A and B are shown apart, each in its own frame.
Chain A
Amino acid sequence: MSQATLRIQKISGHAGPVPGEGMYRDVKEKQVCKLVDTTTCIGCKACEIACQEWNDLPFASTTFDNTYQTMPDTTWNFWNLIRFKEHVRDDGTMMWLMRKDQCMHCADPGCLEACPADGAIVQYANGIVDFQSDRCIGCGYCITGCPFNIPKFHPATHKVHKCTLCADRVTEGLEPACIKACPTGCLHFGTKDDMLDLAGRRAKQLRDNYKESKGTFGFANAGVYDPPGVGGTGVIYVLHDATNPEFLNGLPKDPHVPWTVKLWKHPLKWLGNVAMIGGAIGLFTHYLRYGPKLEHKNGNGAPASGGPGGAQR
């Protein structure tokens, strides 16, 4: 696992193949994954603080909005936000729902797709999607490319920041800081396969509980959130109701790289390049076939001096 962040499997705005491609034998790096079990999060915010601490982020002021949420949205210096929702069920009982929101580390990252700057966004061999600030040009295309609204501008430098999945820690074989800080075990870290297995079993447990308790506790529609529209994610959730991730947990039901971004980056790019090169060839061919319209039909195109012949004929 520790070599994985030295290898890149996807790179933004790069001409030609991914650097280092083909250098390695067919060693398939294991994809790392964070599992967030929203059913056991108590909203202690230890992960928020751990993230601030480890990544040495400057203080981000909190906003009290009469809820249990630290601030309305993640910011350039606040990458890990526990989203809060108070839900009154049909029987009058209440749910206090917490969802840890951060970069999802998509297998098919929209930010990377949209980014025009060479190497400003990379995906390491272990699946972590990371921003390289020194290469970021501040265009903000990643903001538009992201289906989860994660990248945020630094107002002064106009560079974009987000969760790195603690790539620096993971490289050294450590788990991300948020995982380390979690007191309830609602956060887990490991390979994607292991996390999917764990998440699947936890979701099943919740469903079984519901069945066995005849609806007293557990959740009938508990399930795992690993959206296939973005190729799966490096952060997966166990949700109370996987059939409706929007309502309870504020997650997009079927996130995709936006179709306009795809249209722009693939057919339009292809068409545009063909048209530009074809147009240039076409104009040159026209010149070869018909030549210039000379200013003076019987001259060589030199400016008129008003001399004899020239312009008069």
Chain B
Amino acid sequence: MSSPGFLLPNNRVLRYNFRERMVHWSAAVSYIYLLLTGLAFWSPWLFWIAVVLGGGTVSRVLHPWIGLVFTFAVLLMYGLWAEQMHEANGDKAWWQAMRYYISNEDEKVPAAGRFNGGQKFLFWSFFWCGIVLLLTGIVLWYPQQFPEAVRLVSILLHPAAALLTIGLFMLHVYMGTAYERGAFGSVIRGDVSREFAMRHHRTWFEDIVREASGKR
């Protein structure tokens, strides 16, 4: 199964199956909790978020546990998508043409598979930042169990990695909701229009069409 997805009635294409959507939203919801409580610990000006979410102590207690939930979701996501996220032939060309993608000149953007170069970058960045956040997070969870040098590194790397994910997250949310119309529906209901599939993931879409006609 190189690229899951199949044609649906009414000119729709299934892009994310139920399992993928569930894993995505497990990661998303836990990440948003981690983001909010993390921001509360990041800046005194945002500490009120922790108060709203049950108090600083509650946030401190839950943040690491929700971090484990997030880790689990990311691992499931790795199982689902890692294979499809490996660099493919078209990715380099996609990166080179990214400026056209940004300026909405999509006809000049080379054909992408199920995931384009940017999506792969997002996936791997989130994955590796997640690993760093997990390892440093365990240290911050039980600081008294770790030597000073390890704590000092963790206290710096944890927010640094978190900031990187915040950048990715903002980009991801912007593109998934406001910018790339149809994308949000794909991760809620699972489907996109054929036009969307054709425009943004042509190689993937053509595979699906070929498969569908082959079966017929």
Partners in one complex: yes
Interface residues of A, Cβ cutoff 8 Å to B = 13-15, 114, 116-118, 135-141, 143-144, 149, 152-153, 158, 258, 260-261, 263-264, 268-269, 272-273, 275-276, 279-280, 283, 286-287, 290-297, 301, 303-306, 310-312
CB of B150 to closest CB in A, whole Å = 10
The answer on a CB contact under 8 Å between B12 and A114 is no
Q: Which 8 A-B pairs have the closest CB atoms?
A: A295-B182, A137-B56, A306-B10, A140-B143, A260-B156, A15-B44, A116-B41, A311-B11
Cα A149 to Cα B181 with chains together (Å): 54
**Alpha-carbon distance between A276 and B102 when the two chains are bound, in angstroms:** 20
B52 at the A interface (CB under 8 A) = no
Query: Contact: B144 with A153, CB < 8 Å?
Result: yes
Tell me which residues across on chain A come within 8 A of B195, comparing CB atoms: 295-297, 304, 310-311
List residues 31-46 of chain B with CB under 8 A from any CB of chain A.
40-45
Does B194 belong to the interface (CB within 8 Å)? yes
- Contact for A264 among B59, B156, B178, CB less than 8 A: B156
Closest A residue to B46 by CB, please name it.
Answer: A15
Residues of A contacting B60 with CB < 8 Å?
137-139, 158
Least Cβ distance of B72 to chain A in Å? 23
Whether A264 and B155, one on each chain, are in contact in the complex, defined by CB atoms closer than 8 angstroms, is yes
Pick from A273, A287, A294: contact of B43, CB under 8 Å: A273
Q: Which residue of A lies closest to B152 (CB)?
A: A260
Cα–Cα, bound, A275→B57 (Å):
28
| Bound complex: CA A211 to CA B153 (Å) | 46
A272 to B41, CA, bound (A): 13
Is A264 a contact of B159 with CB atoms below 8 Å?
yes
Which B residues are in CB contact (< 8 Å) with A137? 50, 55-57, 59-60
Give the chain A neighbours of B56 by CB distance below 8 A: 116-118, 135, 137
Closest CB of chain B to A120's CB: distance in Å?
8
Q: Say yes or no: A295 contacts B196, CB within 8 Å.
A: yes
Interface 1/0s, chain B 137-151, versus A by CB < 8 A? 000100110001001
CB <8 Å contact, A14 and B156: no
**CB pair B163 A260 closer than 8 Å:** no
Task: Please tell me if the beta carbons of B42 and A15 are within 8 angstroms of each other in the complex.
Answer: no
A116 and B44 contacting across the interface, CB-CB below 8 Å: yes
One of A13, A153, A292 near B181 (C-beta < 8 A): A292
Are B43 and A275 neighbours in the complex by a CB distance under 8 Å? no
Contact of B9 among A279, A290, A306 (CB under 8 A): A306
Contact partner of A140 among B45, B104, B144, B182, CB < 8 A? B144
Distance A136 CA – B60 CA, assembled complex (angstroms): 10
A283-B156 in contact given A137-B60, A304-B10 (Cβ < 8 Å): no
Which B residues are CB-close (under 8 A) to A304? Answer: 10-12, 193, 195
Residues in B whose Cβ lies below 8 Å from that of A118: 44, 47, 56
Chain B residues in 8 Å Cβ range of A261: 152, 155-156
Interface residues in B189-213 by Cβ distance below 8 A to A read: 192-196, 199
Query: Closest residue to B191 on the A side, CB-wise?
Result: A303
Check A143/B104 contact, CB under 8 A, given A275-B167, A295-B193, A311-B193.
no
- Check B178 against A116 for contact (C-beta < 8 Å): no
Check if A260 sits within 8 Å of B155, measured CB to CB: yes
Assuming the contacts A15-B44, A303-B185, asked whether A272 and B155 have C-beta atoms less than 8 A apart, the reply is no
Whether B20 is near chain A, meaning CB under 8 Å from some CB there, is no
Q: Would you give 24 A-B contacts (Cβ < 8 Å), ordered by A?
A: A15-B43, A116-B56, A117-B56, A118-B44, A137-B56, A137-B59, A140-B144, A141-B143, A258-B152, A268-B160, A272-B42, A272-B163, A272-B166, A283-B170, A287-B178, A293-B104, A293-B106, A295-B192, A295-B196, A296-B193, A301-B181, A306-B9, A306-B11, A311-B195
